Structure 1
Amino acid sequence: MLIPLNVLLYQLSANSIYESQNIDLTGNFDNVQLFDQEQLNAEFGDELYLVSDQVLLNALSRTPEDQFPSRCVFLCICQDEKLHTSDFHPNLSMVLLYTDESFPLVFNRILKIFHDFDIWDKNFHLMLIQQKSLQDLLNLSKDFLVHPMVVLDRNYSILGYLRDPNVSDPIMESILSAGYVTPQIMERLRQDGLISTSEQAENPLISWYSLTTHDCYYSMMYRFKTNGHTVGYALIFHCAVHPRTNYLYLMNIVAENLQLFFQQKRFSNRSSSDIYESVFNDILEHPDAPQQQYADQLSYIPDLPMNGRFMLAVIHYPDEQELPFSFVSWNLRTSIPQLKPFVYQNTLYILKNNSENESFATFLTPEEQTIFQKNFRNRYFECGISNTFFSLMDLPTAAAQAREALAIGTSKTEGGAPTFHYFSDVYMLYILQELKKAGVDKMAASPCYEVLRQYDETHNGDLCYIFMQFLKNGRNVNQTSTAIFQHRNTVLNKVKKAVSIMQNECEDYQSRIAFMLSYLNDPNR
């Protein structure tokens, strides 16, 4: 693994004292070589060579300037504080490191640093392949992380953190206590300059903040992006000195690897979406989480309250590769602002906020439906729509209703024009389906229906059908007549005949439900 020279110096000692000349300390090296003055005539590459001050001075004194290697970089170990880089050739690329430790000890420590970074990098990538959590990755990196640190997703929920047993930062502890960044904590983070959601802010953003009159510290914020969109943040607290140069580059190495975590499919799938999408996904995945947490996250999203009047739809259509969900989602939210499409478990859902509409039970007006269909480029699609619900915490129930509406609705229709299936229209079929699953559908059988069915079977009649339509139309003869295209008197006479056979008018709700369930459960109807 390539390590910047200034990170190597920092790992040797956080307070390393050194002088340098003709060298960029951010230059990367993957190993260190021992300098052998007997091989001066050999070819030296762009490598880092470890040498003692006296060995280097002796080599310089015995070698003409034009023959001394100029491409390599020397890390010179020095115990004489009176020696300076000015005592060496001015064209030499070198770092003069002052230390009381012996040369062999420094050499072994440097080898261990390279080894530890290499093992860490390999294990980090292996854990990424294994889809480990970010907390696992931070635990793996704890030997390199000096200060308290918390990593957030773009909804400011905690993905992972590391504490310092010797340091307790009250701002970080407040985040850990809440489990996410509440609006109150966010206000303080912004006031103190610890976080910035602006895409123009420096990355990393280094700021200072005060805990008390005498306790002032520096902080660092890293912003992680995928596909040009911010998907996460890392906050480092309680830096006693400005995290410049050496420590900064160490944190940059860790941040570069953490960036790989956010580039995984589980984040890149969300990176081109609106911020509300990940909140919806979290509600569906963790419906038992505290409502206040989601309410606080929604407070960062304009025009999307926790409570209101909502409907949810699920969409199925062919050729998803040719018409990607991301393309459809962008077009829908642009053309109909009240719609908030999102993808969950590789399925396209659409939330409709009807809080400001007079009709809270209408998913799409006729005008919106025309626009809606155009976004699918005149492709055939099926749409299942939930009942109206009044809190986004009920999103899991609404999603289940939409899926059931789609499944039951598509089983009753043939492909053709785009179709909208409302859960309210298949509610009785859903109840019957669940009764069958529980094996108790016969418990709800209606004797009235069975009597009428036997009469129809004997006389080749349609009284069951007529009476079912009569119940579906609110026991209104005129509406029933219009719905089934039969004369009013014909419908009225058949209803009276059915009542006389059943000896029951099904006026109470229990008799109606039992009759309707039995009718829907009849395989021969």
Structure 2
Amino acid sequence: MDFRSVLRVLKQENRLEILRSEITVEDEISEICLFENGAQNIRKKLYIGNIEEIISWIKAEADSPEKGAGLSAIIGIKERDFEDESVSRHLAYSLENGMISNYALIREEHTLKALQAVNNIMQKKLKTSYQVIELMALAMRGADLKSILKVSEKTLENPVIIIDAGFKILDVSSMEDIDDDIWKANIRRGYCSYEFIKEVHKIDQIRPFPHNSDVYEVNCSFSAYVKSCSKIFNKDRLVGYVIMLKKREIENALIEEYLPMVGSSVCEVLLRTKEHKGVFGSQEENLIHELIHGGDEELIKIRFKINQIELPEKMSCLMMKTNEYLNSIQATTFLKEQIKNILPGAFCLEEQGNLLVICRLSQDGRLTSEEERRLLGLFQQGVIHMGMSSPCTDIMALKDAYGQSAQLYKISKRLQIEKEIMYFSDYSFYIMLSNLNEKDLLQYAHPALNILRKYDQIHNGELYKTLQVLVDHQSQMVKTAEALSIHRNSLSYRINKIIELTGLDLSSNEDIFRLSYGFKVEKYCRVAV
């Protein structure tokens, strides 16, 4: 505990009046001594004595050739000496010359009380240090989150709750000791209430929270208890909060030292737990992760609003798979930066070994040609698949969009599609086929396809391909001939031969429709042509 904290405990818990203080160093106090037994000029020592002893020591130190580091002192002073210029002069001299780093003046009659209080503080500090060591050792030995929280509740004598940065409740020490109806409901639901989230943001606007793990209090009118809170950080990124429901009064010094250590231990546990891996992403990533895995719709919308996160009006899920050489933190981070440069405003997160991108679409429900061109360049940098869901305008539709983009990878493997941005709208028929029994699919293909395939095999022909290209080009002769790189007369000959062999009516919409899905069925079933 540093000198400032010692003074705070003396004032708040022991009701000692601090007449004047000077603090120049924030070092931890490691030892308490009396000035009457002599003094060593060591920074981490705290000496307690009266003003006469201090001044006598200052004079002796002034004549000493050896200079120390500057000790701390709590000094008892008589009321008549408080305004004595000689006292002020000696204290100022000791500060300037490194004899004393910190001091506090108290009434002389309170000196013994101060000694006893500081002794108690240090004893409690020592006990807390052992408790902290026990907690950290538990985490290092591989204890789970519940075990950490149960030990914390026993030490703090109050229930402890862990939430992530998006106010999702990760775990609680025990339900038995929680009798606050609001928090009971929060824990059952798995998220903090809208009222609590709003209160936290309101407090943050009035009095910004510390960007460290220092303990602060949240007081909500709708809840029975004060909440002592400490932020949980991983590499300077906020990942959650430790919340202690203050049902029973305990010493502030214990809360202030122990609660941040609970956060550190919890962070260690979360880092090695797969189910909690998502908490280490950004706020946006965490919310999107919950969104695509079916989180509470009402609360997700509230949290998006409170955190002022805005998704595009027309958006889609783009899933990217990378090769094994890109599966490193550095490579993934570099790829994310490239994606955000190509797709401004996109949200990127890692999801089950893939990169998931929530991006804006143009009015036609696709990326712009320039965006597509630049994304295709990523295939040269280790990306092996890109699948784009159907457009959506409601954030709650992103769960289905995520499912669509995931299905496209299976289709790409099935159809052996490479280096293409696959749109769900282009491959939805194949996805429908993937949900049917493959053994039964071929019966739905048009019988004409089997006739043409056999004819081609015997005569080394291209009638099957010719009909496929004709159907793909909506029976337009010029475009079909260009696609096949043949003369129109040759195309006419082939079409007549197709009609002769199959009896097809190529002016029939029904026949064209059956041929169209028949070609897709045979492609999906990998029928050799």
**TM-score scaled by length of structure 1:** 0.67
Select the residue among 332, 340, 346 that pairs with 1:339: 346
Distance (Å, rounded) in 2 between the aligned partners of 1:337 and 1:259: 32
1:497 aligns with 497
Could you tell me how far 1:504 is from its partner in structure 2? 3.2
Q: Contact (CA 8 Å) 1:272, 1:326: kept in 2 or not?
A: no
Superposed, 1:267-286 pairs within 5 Å as 273-284=281-292, 286=293
Superposed, 1:352-371 pairs within 5 Å as 352-354=359-361, 357-360=362-365, 362=366, 364-371=367-374
- 3-state secondary structure, aligned to 1:231: strand
- 3-state secondary structure, aligned to 2:155: coil
Task: Please say if 1:518 is aligned against 2:526.
Answer: no
- 3-state secondary structure, aligned to 2:349: strand
Task: Please say if 1:507 is aligned against 2:507.
Answer: no
Pick closer, same or farther for the CA change 1:393–1:168 going to 2, 3 Å.
Answer: same
- 3-state secondary structure, aligned to 2:400: helix
Distance (Å, rounded) in 2 between the aligned partners of 1:282 and 1:227: 23
Task: Please say if 1:250 is aligned against 2:263.
Answer: no
Pick closer, same or farther for the CA change 1:488–1:370 going to 2, 3 Å.
Answer: same
1:463 aligns with 463
1:420 aligns with 421
1:479 aligns with 479
Distance (Å, rounded) in 2 between the aligned partners of 1:315 and 1:196: 44
Superposed, 1:105-184 pairs within 5 Å as 119-127=134-142, 132-133=144-145, 135-162=146-173, 165=176, 168-184=179-195
Q: Contact (CA 8 Å) 1:18, 1:98: kept in 2 or not?
A: no
Q: Please tell me the residue identity of whatever aligns with 1:292.
A: E
Distance (Å, rounded) in 2 between the aligned partners of 1:221 and 1:408: 52
Superposed, 1:175-194 pairs within 5 Å as 175-191=186-202, 193=203
- How many correspondences in the alignment? 461
Could you tell me how far 1:343 is from its partner in structure 2? 1.1
Q: Contact (CA 8 Å) 2:217, 2:227: kept in 1 or not?
A: yes
Deviations 1:98-135 (A, max 9, x none): 99xxxxxxxxx9999887665544323223xx6x34x4
Distance (Å, rounded) in 1 between the aligned partners of 2:232 and 2:160: 15
Distance (Å, rounded) in 2 between the aligned partners of 1:384 and 1:377: 9
Deviations 1:172-203 (A, max 9, x none): 34532442135444223334x38999675574
Q: Contact (CA 8 Å) 1:385, 1:405: kept in 2 or not?
A: no
Q: Contact (CA 8 Å) 1:172, 1:237: kept in 2 or not?
A: no
Q: Higher helix share goes to which structure?
A: 2
Distance (Å, rounded) in 2 between the aligned partners of 1:167 and 1:271: 25
Q: Please tell me the residue identity of whatever aligns with 2:116.
A: L
Q: Please tell me the residue identity of whatever aligns with 1:444.
A: Y
Tell which deviates more after alignment, 345-354 or 151-160. 345-354
Superposed, 1:59-70 pairs within 5 Å as none
1:392 aligns with 398
Q: Please tell me the residue identity of whatever aligns with 1:392.
A: L
Deviations 1:446-504 (A, max 9, x none): 42222222222333321111112222223333332232222334323322321332223
Q: Contact (CA 8 Å) 2:270, 2:276: kept in 1 or not?
A: yes
Distance (Å, rounded) in 2 between the aligned partners of 1:335 and 1:196: 38
1:330 aligns with 337
Q: Please tell me the residue identity of whatever aligns with 2:252.
A: R
Could you tell me how far 1:392 is from its partner in structure 2? 0.9
Q: Contact (CA 8 Å) 2:390, 2:425: kept in 1 or not?
A: no
Q: Please tell me the residue identity of whatever aligns with 1:466.
A: T
Q: Contact (CA 8 Å) 1:17, 1:97: kept in 2 or not?
A: no
1:79 aligns with none
Distance (Å, rounded) in 2 between the aligned partners of 1:195 and 1:113: 33
1:69 aligns with none
Tell which deviates more after alignment, 422-431 or 109-118. 109-118
Percent identity (aligned):
14
1:383 aligns with 385
CA RMSD of aligned residues (A): 5.6
Could you tell me how far 1:275 is from its partner in structure 2? 2.3
Q: Please tell me the residue identity of whatever aligns with 1:393.
A: K
Q: Please tell me the residue identity of whatever aligns with 1:248.
A: E
Q: Please tell me the residue identity of whatever aligns with 2:513.
A: Y
Could you tell me how far 1:232 is from its partner in structure 2? 0.9
Q: Please tell me the residue identity of whatever aligns with 2:232.
A: F
Q: Which runs of 5+ in 2 are unaligned?
A: 6-12, 18-24, 31-43, 45-106
Q: Contact (CA 8 Å) 1:218, 1:238: kept in 2 or not?
A: yes
1:223 aligns with 231
Task: Please say if 1:404 is aligned against 2:410.
Answer: yes
Q: Contact (CA 8 Å) 2:213, 2:233: kept in 1 or not?
A: no
Deviations 1:321-352 (A, max 9, x none): 59611122134324532432221122222222
Deviations 1:179-234 (A, max 9, x none): 2135444223334x38999675574352463537xx98643221122222211122
1:53 aligns with none
Q: Which runs of 5+ in 1 are unaligned?
A: 8-14, 30-46, 48-84, 100-108
Pick closer, same or farther for the CA change 1:430–1:313 going to 2, 3 Å.
Answer: same
Q: Please tell me the residue identity of whatever aligns with 1:277.
A: E
